[in-house]
Structures are given as structure tokens and as C-alpha cells.
Amino acid sequence: MPKITYNTHDNQTHTIDVQNGLTVMEGAIQNDIPGIDADCGGGMACATCHVYVVEGIDSLTEPTEDEDDYLDKAWGLKSNSRLSCQAIINDKDLIIEIPKYTINHASENH
Ligand code: FES
């Protein structure tokens, strides 16, 4: 089973075995990892599951155009940003960093 390491913004590290084929978001929710709200339940409609993929990003399928659109709402966007509900674990270990905020709250006021 792939090992997924979740590093939270307050420097806590959680390394867990996650079943292949689950998403990075599902692995976090099922194991009570804090910081991934996943408000829309994986429907790609919120960006509150935004994470950085520190290691193993090549094992994930490329983000779709829709995912890229939603990532524009994410706080602190980086080149290794993904919506964790769209990042399907593909038999490889991953290191995931959970940002302090997932979405850009300032943009909600427009
Ligand atoms: Fe809403 Fe991922 S859980 S976009």
C-alpha cells in the first residue's frame, strides 16, 4: 500500500498507508488528517482541498482544465498545487503539504 505523508501547516507529520486508487483527499479524511476541509465532498466545486505535492507528483494524472480553473481560487498557489480530491493515488508514495489556508478568502468578497 502506498505511504502518504501529510505535513500540516503547523509542522505535524502524519504518514499513513492509503489504499491505492483513493484520492489524496479521501486518504486524509478517512484518517482524520486536519487541514483539508473538502467542502464539496470531492465534486471539484470548492478548492478547499488544495494541497502541495512535494514528492511523487509525476505519479499523478495531469490536472484537467476544470481543476486548473478551480485552483485559481486557491490560496498560495504554487507550481505543485493540486486539488487533492482529483489526485488519485497511483501505487506510489507521496509527500503532501497542506497549506495554512486552502482557498483565497479575499476573492470571495468580490
Ligand atoms: Fe471540493 Fe476538492 S473537495 S474541490
At 34-92, the pLDDT tens digits run 999 999 999 999 899 999 999 999 999 999 999 999 898 898 999 999 999 999 999 99
The reported pLDDT for the residue numbered 107 is: 47
Ligand 1, atom 4, residue with closest C-alpha: 44
The reported pLDDT for the residue numbered 105 is: 64
87 to each of 20, 62, 67, 105, 107, how far by Cα in Å? 11, 9, 10, 23, 24
In this prediction, residues 16-29 reach a mean pLDDT of 97
Question: Sheet containing 81-83: which strands, arranged edge to edge?
Answer: 13-17, 3-7, 94-97, 50-55, 81-83
Query: Residue 91 Cα, ligand 1 centroid: separation in angstroms?
Result: 22
Q: What is the pLDDT of residues 5-15, one digit of tens each?
A: 999 999 999 99
Probe residue for ligand 1, chosen from 48, 75, 77 as the CB with the greatest number of ligand atoms within 8 Å: 48
Q: Ligand 1 in contact with 83 (CB < 6 A)?
A: yes
CA distance 59 to 62: 9
